[in-house]
Amino acid sequence: MFAARLVVLATLLALPAAAADGDIGQIKSATGAVSIERAGQRLVATPGERVRQTDVVSTGPDGAAGITFADNSTMALGPDTTLALERFRFDSTTNEGAFATRLSHGTLAVKSGKIVQQTPEAMTVQTPTAILGVRGTEFLVRAGKE
């Protein structure tokens, strides 16, 4: 009985942090003003900071950020950009999932990961005037302020 509990505990401790607390990726680089809005709070984004579904990542006029997600997708945000991470679901066994973001304004460069490799239409980027369905592996989006 004790050995079985020990195996369960060891298994739980070995799970990645993302599974335990809802993390979907992390900030890999941040220069200038970069912040994360989460649950009504604004956090300073620094390299290593985890991002979660429903976070909003923003850069100031001098800011830029790079984010890597659990499926190995990467996003680079340029200056004066606001990106909402609306939906992220990823099964690392099957590589199936869904990835939806909303770019309010600014520039976004994307290199898609395993989700798009498995299901090409599973990633979308919404802008104020369009919704982009991602079928390729790399693209750039720019949305102006209204």
Q: How many alpha carbons lie under 13 Å from residue 25 in its C-beta half-sphere?
A: 28
Q: What are the start-end ranges of the H helices in 17-137?
A: 17-21, 114-118
Terminus-to-terminus CA distance in the chain, angstroms? Answer: 63
Q: How far is CA 108 from CA 2, 15, 28, 39, 76, in A?
A: 51, 31, 15, 23, 6
Which among 64, 75, 70, 32 is positioned nearest to 50, based on CA atoms? 70
Read off the pLDDT of residues 75-100 as tens digits, 9 standing for 90 and up.
999 999 999 999 999 999 999 999 99
CB 58 within 8 A of CB 34: yes
Provide the pLDDT confidence category of residue 16 given band limits of 50, 70 and 90: very low
pLDDT (0 to 100) of residue 108: 95
Q: What are the start-end ranges of the H helices in the chain?
A: 2-14, 17-21, 114-118
Helix, strand or coil, per DSSP, at residue 73: coil
Q: Is the pLDDT of residue 55 over 90?
A: yes
Read off the pLDDT of residues 41-50 as tens digits, 9 standing for 90 and up.
999 999 999 9
- The single-letter code of the amino acid at 25 is G
